[in-house]
């Protein structure tokens, strides 16, 4: 069996997180899907975490998971009519442009999110009353045993910002809408502009920190409490969107956690609503 220790690199997790928070850690960088399979076979039931694009992940200063990056895995895409098979490490914005060139649309509501398809699928990402699961046909997953399993859409248990996927997402099969390139590009541009106008995209952030409670908006609850600009160290509640926490320079994991707990407590005290994190903590 190949010695997979050669796949380990010690990296600063700040460089792999869109929030720019993290410490030095050992990360596996498989260069092939065979490498990835060997990692999963070696560690079996030990807890593993695919880092993906790092757009929704807050890293602790210490780690007890096997961290795996898909940065060097081959990117794959296959188009057959309006059925598309794409590897999980494909960036969503590159994917949208590729689909537009083939007159395939439907996922434009995700335009501007700095994430890969695997992460968006795992958390059932959404916006503008749409979710990615609406366009998913099936998902190919590498399970802890090192064996692959194809999950049909009805087996994924995709709910609001969550799924029951356990393992490494290898490929996602989409069924998209046939549309004109011109119309698709207009929708992409509109959604990107909307994000620029309403979100602090020029500052390090992880997107929305909290899930929206049933029948309410986390951002509105936080805004109604006047918490925009609330700061702990260099962690700040964005003035532009109250459900975004930004790193204004050198925010630490402790800064971020203290600020999120402070927000959660204030929302409980005022509205008797318990906010749940949308981001993932490793």
Residues in the chain: 282
Q: What is the pLDDT of residue 157?
A: 81
Cβ atoms 123, 162 nearer than 8 A: yes
249-260 per-position pLDDT tens digit: 999 999 999 999
Confidence of residue 164 (pLDDT cuts 50, 70, 90): confident
The token duo for 21 is 């928070």
pLDDT of 63 strictly over 80: no
The token duo for 150 is 């194809």
93-139 per-position pLDDT tens digit: 999 999 999 999 999 999 999 999 999 999 999 988 899 999 999 99
- The residue assigned the tokens 């598309």 is 84
The token duo for 227 is 């918490």
Cβ atoms 69, 51 nearer than 8 A: yes
- The residue assigned the tokens 């859409």 is 153
Strands 280-281 and 57-58 come out as parallel
The answer to whether the predicted template modeling score (pTM) of the entire model surpasses 0.75 is yes
Q: State the average pLDDT over residues 44-59.
A: 90
Q: What is the pLDDT of residue 1?
A: 59
Greatest CA separation found in the chain?
58
Q: Which residues pair with 104 in a beta bridge?
A: 178
183-229 per-position pLDDT tens digit: 999 999 999 999 999 999 999 999 999 999 998 999 999 999 999 99
Average pLDDT, the chain: 94
Domains of the chain by start residue, with CATH:
4-68 (3.30.43.10), 77-197 (3.30.465.10), 200-281 (3.90.78.10)
Measuring CA to CA, which residue among 274, 257, 261, 258 is closest to residue 221?
274
The values of phi and psi at residue 247, to 5°, are -100, 110
């Amino acid at each position: 069996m190949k010695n997979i220790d050669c796949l380990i690199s010690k990296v600063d997790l700040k460089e792999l997180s869109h929030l720019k928070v993290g410490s030095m850690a050992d990360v596996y960088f498989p260069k092939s899907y065979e490498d990835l399979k060997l990692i999963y076979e070696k560690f079996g039931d030990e807890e593993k975490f695919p880092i993906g694009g790092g757009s929704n992940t807050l890293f602790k200063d210490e780690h007890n998971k096997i961290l795996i990056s898909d940065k060097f895995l081959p990117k794959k895409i296959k188009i057959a009519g309006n059925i598309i098979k794409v590897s999980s490490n494909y960036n969503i914005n590159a994917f949208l442009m590729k689909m537009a060139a083939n007159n395939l649309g439907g996922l434009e509501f995700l335009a501007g999110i700095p994430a890969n398809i695997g992460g968006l699928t795992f958390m059932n990402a959404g916006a503008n009353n749409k979710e990615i699961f609406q366009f998913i046909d099936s998902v190919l997953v590498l399970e802890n045993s090192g064996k692959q399993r194809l999950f049909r859409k009805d087996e994924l248990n995709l709910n609001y910002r969550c799924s029951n996927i356990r393992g490494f997402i290898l490929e996602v099969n989409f069924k998209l809408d046939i549309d004109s390139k011109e119309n698709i590009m207009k929708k992409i541009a509109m959604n990107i502009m909307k994000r620029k106008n309403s979100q602090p995209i020029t500052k390090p952030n992880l997107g929305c920190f909290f899930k929206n409670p049933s029948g309410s908006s986390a951002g509105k609850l936080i805004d109604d409490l006047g918490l925009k600009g609330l700061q702990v160290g260099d962690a700040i509640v964005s003035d532009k969107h109250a459900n975004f926490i930004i790193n204004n320079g050198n925010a630490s994991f402790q800064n971020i956690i203290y600020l999120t707990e402070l927000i959660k407590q204030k929302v409980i005290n005022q509205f008797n609503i318990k906010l749940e994190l949308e981001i993932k903590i490793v």
